[in-house]
Structure 1
Amino acid sequence: MRRGLPQDAFEGGKPYIAIANTASDLTPCNAHLDEVATSVKQGIWEAGGVPLNLPVMSLGETNVRPTAMLWRNLAAMAIEEMLRANPIDGVVLLGGCDKTIPSLLMAAASVDLPAVVVPGGPMLTGHFRGAPLGCGTDVWRLSEEVRAGTLSREAFLRSESAMIRSKGHCNTMGTASTMACLAEALGMTIPGTAGTPAPDARLLERAHETGRLAVSLVAEDRTPSRVLTRASFLNAIVTLAAIGGSTNAVVHLLAIAGRLGVELILDDFDRVGSGVPLLVDLQPAGRHLMDDLFRAGGLLAVLKEVGDLLDPSAPTVTGEPLTAYLDAAEIWDETVIRRRSSPLLEDAGIAVLRGNLAPRGAVIKPAAASPELLRHRGRAVVFDSVEDLNARLDSPDLDVDETSVLILRGCGPRGYPGMPEVGNLPLPRRLLEKGVRDMVRVSDARMSGTAYGTVVLHAAPEAAVGGPLALVRTGDPIVLDVPARRLDIDLPQRELSLRTPVTTGFAEPARGWQRLYIDHVLQADQGADLDFLVGSSGHEVSRESH
């Protein structure tokens, strides 16, 4: 069907470029992507291609229940099938909110048609009582002040209203900002795009340029498998540390690599990220926000400072290596982007912990933790589910003090299901009232990239499949030693072997996607993808349609 297209759109071998568009009114971070898509279309037409808007599944952290992560793999699978089923030659991927860029990249990797990303960009900074607000991070901070009795509920609601000043995703270095930056570090955007604020006209300029590039990608057959090499993923890990990015990036990068058959394991994050300095002074690890990063020089200025740690062989969608774009980068505000000689932290990489509580690994973000808690021993206070946590956390009968270690289980990939962002457990009210603002917390869950604290996440294997977290009892001695990369329950193995695992928080869906998900989801150390989706399938359909 022509649907108003001119006849020459069907002549001369013009490439058909899909715009995989995650715009949705139910995903506030992505609501402006139809405007971005219009600029992409203009660039595609200008370069001699035919643009085709392809609305795809959209996942918003603020509305989707029980957790957007439950649907990441479904979104990736649905997008993959649409890219393969339709007669297209290439695709521009429009994403913003946390799971949209990962799912788009997973799909593109599986289909391996020429592809390029346009991140939707962060919102502008809002202010409350004269102070800048970080979307997400200050929600966590101010909600604790409400529970501590130092901020009224009415003032909290006014702060929330002031926080969302413009279109765009969270303006902290949360998962959305992290994945936009990592898409660029992987080589899947035009360098210099990531972090452009959503309301900035330069985002539309770059979207137009990306539309033109998409036509060239098809002509040169530059596919994700040619761009996303092991070197690209290792560069992304360096980037993750330098920007103080979200722990969620670990499961997303592992899943994307798995779709390509690129060798990437959990230990790579510690091996490569260890010793990388934190250079970006952004919430939640620092003070500033994403539009500050953009005006201060952007991601390329950050990467220039750690250029010697980057693999120059890693290509980008432009055909040039990522490192070729660093010479022209400049730092314009050294309070936002630090020099290598004066970092926020000398060693900011994600730390991978192992021990008898996480034999397949757990992760912690030292940049967001309290330094004095990185080595800690305390009594376990165990919660079997989110519901159990909510019911008992503020009980006057709860035997807890500031030295305790809060344990939450039943919240891994299978246990919830979907591995929700509940790992940054709220603190008991009576401790907040005493002035306590951080405690060691351990779970098989994730936490929002906007969150902070001494929080151990992604413990694998999870409790729902019989992992060691299922053996912990309240009162057990827990030992965290981040410098030694250890997480242990300090009890004899013989005693632990006599215990019956507790899996009371494990849900067993009867039908639909959730049933398929729990039957096939992999553990966090494998990216929490579905086992039958690992490995690229290519863009050929299984049988010709008639």
Structure 2
Amino acid sequence: MSGTNKRQLRSARWFGGTPFDAEHTGHALQAGLAREEFEGKPVIGIINTWSDLNPCHAHLRERAEAVKRGVWQAGGYPVELPALALGEGFFKPSAMMYRNMLAMQTEEMLRAQPVDGAILLGGCDKTTPGLLLGAISADLPTIFCPAGFTNAARYRGESFGSGTGPFRWAPDLIAGRLPVTEWQKIEEKIWSSPGTCNVMGTASTMTALAEVLGFSLPGASSVPATASKGHQLAAAAGRRVVDMVWEDLRPSHILTRAAVENAAKVNVALGGSTNAAIHLVAIARRAGIDFNLQQFDAVVRGVPVLANVQPSGAYLMHEFADAGGLPALLNQLQTLLDGSSQTVMKQTLSEVIEQAQIDDDEVIRPLSNPVASEALVVVSGNLAPNGAVIKPSAATASLMQHRGRAVVFEDAADMAARIHSDDLEVTPDSVLVLRNCGPQGGPGMAENGMLPIPKKLAEQGVRDVLRISDARMSGTSFGTCVLHVSPESWVGGPLALVRSGDEIEIDVAARSLNLLVDDAELAARRSAWQPPKPHYVRGWGALFIEHVNQADQGCDFDFLVRPGATPEPPIFGKL
């Protein structure tokens, strides 16, 4: 179908061949293109999140060239559009604070310029949902191309997962049992090549969910960053998106409620990141699909963990890819999925599943032999009226029903100052509580939710305690951590009322989380509570705090989920 104009191109509004279009045509000629290279051809915007401060995406410059090759082959005109690169390693106070900036940038770059279709290049945690959110709102034919994951490594004879590995050895460093020189060896192994974390952290989780939602070529999320197949799939995506333009196959045709529910189930089957509970809700709401945290929990009940991948399992993403990757997992899970969902290939999910081959059923388990019975549970009660999440597959079974006294930290700075103090009043039964780390309180809801094991306990050999916060945690994290408590303490949520010594009780099976303080006392504390001063009075920070929704609503901006379409930009005064 490429090269045969079956419909009017959107970009023809810029390149219409009239005297009014001379500026647009002149600038294309200025770029060194001949008329026959761009006139009458689909313009494909390649949104590239490469940056020197995002080494996970260090190879995306070359990946963009592969996309361009495919677009030219299919008769399109590729244009590379640099975008915000949300690298987890350097963004402060949190990359999450800028996810919506990337979403807005993506949407407006696609809308304001002569673009007919888009290729999204991302992978590091917030880049995938940020790019998808923007593309969903722009609603132009779109394919997401994941960056892929970093090379594998080993330390002291065990597989070393990015993020997960350092977390496992950190208590020994804190307790003085691991020399600093050995810790430096660990730092060298966290990421040993371009690419995202090589465990089922947020990056691999979200690229997999992008594929389940129908936005990627089959198998694209299960390819290492350094594999030549990544460039091959990028070129294929470039060719395919040109045809999608002629077919007018848009995100609004692909992203359905069934696709969202499939993604929620696959997140659990992967043992995926708790962050998906925020991002998937935001993605659904951008598409006008009513989907909240409680619905997420209802959809995933009964779905077991099938991917035996760290931090819920034993293996790394390379073994997962060799075992058949995401299509193989979908095959194992197919009786629980809606196979009618459509993908960018104009295939249904069932057709993708039929082509899958499972090469190692120890890494990708069948339903009859799961890794764990559940991977993401939503708990609620008087401490979290709108819900909070916990990842049982990466937690301690004995703490799934627990009652203990709170040790409260006012914010991340207070926690950092006191967590390893010798006079911290803490026992293995204590409940560590961290507040003022939510969307507004953080600000930006940083990944502080996996509070360190206090030095006093680490020296005793304790490796896990119950931890509760309105923060997030990395998808590479593990432990008994209750996260995303909503509403957050900064806006007066019940977490703001907890005092050290209060008893807290959790029962994961019953989906309950409660502060065992009587209502009269809580009412008195609430009347004495004073709202904190805002972190920002201007700029992006002020915009973020004034408009960000709570975690249970996806942390999107309220004005970005309003109903109604945004009109095309006027050209010479005409819409």
288, 293, 303: which one pairs with 1:276? 303
Partner of 1:435: 461
Distance 2:206 2:530 in 1: 33
Q: Is the Cα contact below 8 Å between 1:20 and 1:56 reproduced in 2?
A: yes
Q: Is the Cα contact below 8 Å between 2:308 and 2:363 reproduced in 1?
A: yes
Distance 2:382 2:237 in 1: 48
Partner of 2:381: 355
Q: Is the Cα contact below 8 Å between 2:166 and 2:190 reproduced in 1?
A: no
Query: CA 1:442/1:115 → structure 2, altered by over 3 Å: closer, same or farther?
Result: same
Alpha-carbon shift at residue 505 of structure 1 (Å): 7.0
Asked if 1:174 is matched to 2:209, the reply is: no
Partner of 2:130: 103
Q: Is the Cα contact below 8 Å between 1:410 and 1:506 reproduced in 2?
A: no
Query: CA 1:545/1:289 → structure 2, altered by over 3 Å: closer, same or farther?
Result: farther
Alpha-carbon shift at residue 130 of structure 1 (Å): 3.4
Distance 1:71 1:455 in 2: 24
Distance 1:139 1:228 in 2: 37
Distance 1:224 1:467 in 2: 36
Alpha-carbon shift at residue 537 of structure 1 (Å): 6.0
Partner of 2:265: 238
1:217-228 aligned at under 5 Å gives the runs 217-228=244-255
Alpha-carbon shift at residue 396 of structure 1 (Å): 2.2
SS at match of 2:295: helix
46, 51, 68: which one pairs with 1:19? 46
Offset from partner CA, 1:214-250 (integer Å, 9 cap, x none):
1011011111111111110000011001000001011
93, 100, 120: which one pairs with 1:93? 120
SS at match of 1:361: strand
Of stretches 530-539 and 364-373 in structure 1, the one that deviates more from structure 2 is: 530-539
Partner of 2:3: none
Partner of 1:388: 414
Amino acid paired to 1:97: C
Partner of 2:319: 292
Q: Is the Cα contact below 8 Å between 1:405 and 1:442 reproduced in 2?
A: yes
344, 350, 364: which one pairs with 1:317? 344
Alpha-carbon shift at residue 494 of structure 1 (Å): 1.6
Partner of 2:369: 342
Of stretches 142-151 and 460-469 in structure 1, the one that deviates more from structure 2 is: 142-151
Asked if 1:213 is matched to 2:240, the reply is: yes
Distance 1:156 1:250 in 2: 32
Q: Is the Cα contact below 8 Å between 2:375 and 2:394 reproduced in 1?
A: no
Alpha-carbon shift at residue 120 of structure 1 (Å): 0.5
Query: CA 1:256/1:473 → structure 2, altered by over 3 Å: closer, same or farther?
Result: same
377, 402, 406: which one pairs with 2:432? 406
143, 168, 189: which one pairs with 1:141? 168
Amino acid paired to 1:6: A
Amino acid paired to 2:454: P
Of stretches 37-46 and 264-273 in structure 1, the one that deviates more from structure 2 is: 264-273
Asked if 1:123 is matched to 2:137, the reply is: no
Amino acid paired to 1:367: S
Amino acid paired to 1:8: E
Amino acid paired to 1:9: E
Alpha-carbon shift at residue 332 of structure 1 (Å): 1.1
Asked if 1:533 is matched to 2:533, the reply is: no
Distance 1:535 1:201 in 2: 42
SS at match of 1:172: coil
Q: Is the Cα contact below 8 Å between 2:432 and 2:466 reproduced in 1?
A: yes
SS at match of 2:437: coil
Partner of 1:470: 496
Asked if 1:366 is matched to 2:392, the reply is: yes
Asked if 1:55 is matched to 2:82, the reply is: yes
Alpha-carbon shift at residue 363 of structure 1 (Å): 0.6
SS at match of 1:123: coil
Alpha-carbon shift at residue 334 of structure 1 (Å): 2.2
Partner of 2:331: 304
Amino acid paired to 1:57: L
Query: CA 1:507/1:157 → structure 2, altered by over 3 Å: closer, same or farther?
Result: farther
Partner of 1:253: 280
Identical aligned residues as a percent: 49
Query: CA 1:36/1:502 → structure 2, altered by over 3 Å: closer, same or farther?
Result: farther
Alpha-carbon shift at residue 308 of structure 1 (Å): 1.0
Amino acid paired to 1:168: G
Distance 1:418 1:55 in 2: 23
Distance 2:156 2:494 in 1: 46
Partner of 2:479: 453
Alpha-carbon shift at residue 504 of structure 1 (Å): 7.9
282, 288, 293: which one pairs with 1:266? 293
Distance 2:170 2:564 in 1: 45
Q: Is the Cα contact below 8 Å between 2:217 and 2:237 reproduced in 1?
A: yes
Distance 1:539 1:55 in 2: 23
Query: CA 1:89/1:115 → structure 2, altered by over 3 Å: closer, same or farther?
Result: same
SS at match of 1:232: helix
SS at match of 1:360: strand
The one of the two structures with greater contact order (alpha-carbon pairs below 8 A, sep at least 6) is 1
TM-score normalised over the length of structure 1:
0.97
Offset from partner CA, 1:434-460 (integer Å, 9 cap, x none):
000000000000000000000000001
1:192-211 aligned at under 5 Å gives the runs 192-211=219-238
Asked if 1:511 is matched to 2:511, the reply is: no
Offset from partner CA, 1:87-126 (integer Å, 9 cap, x none):
1100000101000010000000111011110000001101
Distance 2:466 2:311 in 1: 17
Partner of 1:9: 37
Distance 1:300 1:505 in 2: 48
Alpha-carbon shift at residue 255 of structure 1 (Å): 1.1
Alpha-carbon shift at residue 141 of structure 1 (Å): 1.6
Q: Is the Cα contact below 8 Å between 1:354 and 1:485 reproduced in 2?
A: yes
Query: CA 1:396/1:289 → structure 2, altered by over 3 Å: closer, same or farther?
Result: same
Alpha-carbon shift at residue 272 of structure 1 (Å): 1.2
Query: CA 1:60/1:330 → structure 2, altered by over 3 Å: closer, same or farther?
Result: same
Partner of 1:485: 511
Distance 1:215 1:515 in 2: 40
SS at match of 1:301: helix
Distance 2:47 2:516 in 1: 50
User: Unpaired runs of 5+ in structure 2?
Assistant: 1-26
Partner of 2:470: 444
TM-score normalised over the length of structure 2:
0.93
Q: Is the Cα contact below 8 Å between 1:470 and 1:503 reproduced in 2?
A: no
Distance 1:511 1:290 in 2: 42
Distance 1:38 1:543 in 2: 31
User: Unpaired runs of 5+ in structure 1?
Assistant: none
Of stretches 87-96 and 313-322 in structure 1, the one that deviates more from structure 2 is: 313-322
Asked if 1:155 is matched to 2:150, the reply is: no
Alpha-carbon shift at residue 542 of structure 1 (Å): 4.3
Alpha-carbon shift at residue 199 of structure 1 (Å): 0.4
Distance 1:535 1:32 in 2: 36
Distance 1:492 1:275 in 2: 34
Partner of 2:57: 30
SS at match of 2:261: helix
Count of equivalent residues = 544
Larger Rg: 2
Alpha-carbon shift at residue 404 of structure 1 (Å): 0.4
